[in-house]
Structure 1
């Protein structure tokens, strides 16, 4: 166990040394290394290194710490300045846009309209990084917020900014100041005054959100600095340890030469001593003579020995690595090495791994014997045997040879397969009776003639096996009294004879069947002609019905839209009192109902026409590069008014860089339909969330859009019916929400036309989540489920 542990510790140094030697172009430098050990060359420079290295490391660590501290200080100042500039620019932009939009705000529903105008006026990422936007009236009372915070509306702005600050008095001239009132920590704030019914717009951003990335950078830099300093300290320790190991290497070198001298006195064979950890090898003079080389008293390098060894027989690097890693202590290998005249000499190396007490580096010490002549004789015998066995194996017949005592000598694989013999039964020397007992395919119509009268030197007969196969068996006696049996599979011939007789009988029966089949075919042909005529008539009727449907939808859309446009237009004129007051408030209420009902009916008609186009395959997608984030912003703005009426919060979380090739109008319609359904079926004070992220679909890039609500939910048994046209979970007598039932069907059809998928998950009383997956690149439309 100790030797294996020491070998594993040396394996890495040995691999590094081998790489340097293979890159070397000359052996002379390696011999000089042995003549001048590493410790001697290091001795003169070691005192200087011991004093200089720690000092240099400390100076480096101090310089690195100073540089990173200055860099982090500059980054803090830059982050602070950028946050102030962002607040100023956003406040200036919002003030200009709200001043422009203020004149168009109605008196009734002023708060709702102001909230919508604020949402439309927000620059991109205005509410990112924890920024809050507050719009107040001239008295400083908060009227609108972004993101929407209903708990702040109606509160004085001074409660959040503090009573003693100058922001509400001086406005934009006060710039960006630090406030703490109403916040758990300090925050930056700026106020810009507005004209008209709006008093001021304020922006507040927490310092924790501003400097979050900077604090993360500080943590990373501190961690990196501590790690770098630790690595340098470890390197200093490694240097001193390496110097100690170099001194020990010289002691091992002297011990190696003493062991080599001892081995040379033991006999006339070639001896070697291989330092496995350093790759240095000593050869005796007799080993040089075996290879026809001039003896020398130098220690050979690993690269020189590897060049002499045959690469197909031995890999010295693999051998050394195996000894060091597995802990094996003995080696007995035969391999070839190149003679000085160019021939190959076979050597047998028998060695043992030894280590000096107290020294971890192992040595492989052993003897090499020239076995070229024995190897040549064995090779010739093996070649002759292989040729004989290969010849027997390649014949198509089953071959078996028995000796004079009916013991198995050899057989080929065809014989084993023929009788279905296990490998244990075809070993040389197995008795005939034992082989036949192990056979799973026995002869049922004849028996072998082994052991019969010697006066009959040969015989030939046919035999049938238990599985129905037939053999032509030829048997011959050998000169030494043995027996050779060759079996040829004639099953195909036997079966061919049987098939010829059977074919003649079948031929007569087939002629009679053909006559009957001909009569049946004539009857079927007549029936097919009649079916083809009926199919043509039905196809013509279906085409006429489809054409009539298309013309009806085109006519009815014009006939319905024209009066509906008039109803919607005139009701809107009456509701706004463009030609004078109506007189009674009931008239205005009825006009509003007429206007809303007309718009609802127009939307239903549009849904029916869109569904008809999709089913008829006449809707075409106009694909273009679409920025999904912009579409989500537009859809959220459109749906926010309906959500605000039910006090439903709509939250959008969209990753940066979401773009795909799609029809902009179709994608927008899908999101509007899904968000409208979510708002429709969500009770008051609920929430709707839209999350858009990157994803994968069938191994390709895709966009995943998940719309979740806290609505009434859907039973699992009803989910499969929802995406079908005109299907609603509630019937006409129990439904509590109006609609045509085409929203989900249109959305699912448009998604499939883009090659995407739509999945609905819901729980009754908890809410519904609709997940839409759209491929980034254009792909064929998926088939309907």
Structure 2
């Protein structure tokens, strides 16, 4: 409606303007016709009276005619053009008009009526004759149309006032619609933020009218349960199969809520069934309030607690696993709290110190365990290879039975500490073996140092090779630029003689300066002209490719409709298409605009369509489609031709690359068309892709970005167009 109302207003104003114009033009013609009829009737009346009275009573006859209209002049003249009588009385202007009119009429004695130019003035004239007399009645056209101009001005004023009023109403409507749209945008933005917060928090909003049994759910609640969003309000019966309340069904819960006083906080836990059939644990937190009509309403947030409950269960299971893991440790493990009381220990610790079961329980003090322990420490020293930390220590201890322990103690966050004792008796026995291995390791390190020197030397060599590679790369780039410059200069030098060859062969073939003696020479001239044009196109392709490779091809962007350009390219190729009896399928949206280089886009589409027509056998079909995908336009050029072998797809698109098959060898070409199309597409920030199957056909997809400026209007539906 916001777009239709301005269009309807403009259409209505245009209709009024067109109708007023047509009416004004019709009134003008009717005014001129009525004036001509009146003048003709007056001439006829004067003829009848003069036929009775003769020339002597000419002035009396004119005086007794009906009073002339403003600006009208009646006259009676002799056979030699002498004016005998006029009415109104003569004046220089009227005399000049009558003299010019009589001169224009000449010796024609027939009755004449209509518009004509006389003496530089357009007049409405009526003339007749009786015996030797000529009767003339005329009226200037500006005098005839004076009243018509006055009425037309009033009509224009009326149309202008009507149009201004309608435009003002349309502007007021558009302003009001804009305000409503802004309000809708603000509401939608606030709702979107709220829904985003609820969705990411895995929660939903409830507003439950307990009296009417009507429930409002936010969009996040539907998403939480896996259902499609509904704008209408739900009923108790709608959610009855989805909810599982510990206290009964939903009706009994509603009765219980209605019996409570308001306001009152509500905190309930229940289950709801997901769309996939799984049960979800929910927790509802809200407030029971009184509605406007005095009824009870339950408003609050429902949070998914499935993960929290699963986490709690996992934590319980993890605690059990930790206890099992501590019990299964081969080291002695003990955990003390900040008051030096036992929290947990494993059986290895109990066995190591030979502690009774009555003491190995949480809460036993460290001193009681130390006093009851059987194994005493006879020697203790700091482990030299273990670093000391401010919140823990590591030391070695030898027990009375000769065993050695490595004890690691670390302070916990609550002020306690954890101690782990590892039996290292076997490690002590292997110490001497480790010393020997250390000497062997030092020897190995010396060998590694020598190897490192060798590697450093090789690295230096690699660096020198890299510098040489960089120099060769620079030389290759310079050679490429020189090649591009050479091709550009060569192309410019070849164009002048080619134009001369084409022009002179065309003159000779057409016989501009005389016919050729031999008809065969005419065919030769046509062959020369065709070959010259082919060579000129080849030179143009080389020049275009050299500009692209040299980075000198600049895009002249403009905004235009790509669908019209596709239609022009398709029409240009119609002769080649008809010559091979091909069927063309074309489909694109009308009014598809793009900011691009028009000439470059025409060259891209022309090259692709030319290849499709060239390599499609007679009776095949080619296709040209376009559609919009997000902020890009995608053009497809398809054919049912010979296809491209898979091994040729890797090199296709490089300059001068052609697919050499028994079929393509009969077709000439520079091999630059696809390369130019690909390069120009990439200059626009797009991409060109090819898919082909041998003996089935080829499809080329060109993806082009659409400008970031605001699109005007909406895209119409894609019309299906076909060229036969």
With the length of structure 1 as denominator, give the TM-score of the two structures. Answer: 0.39
**Bigger RCO (CA 8 Å, 6+ sep):** 1
Answer with 1 or 2: which has the greater Rg.
2
Higher strand share: 2
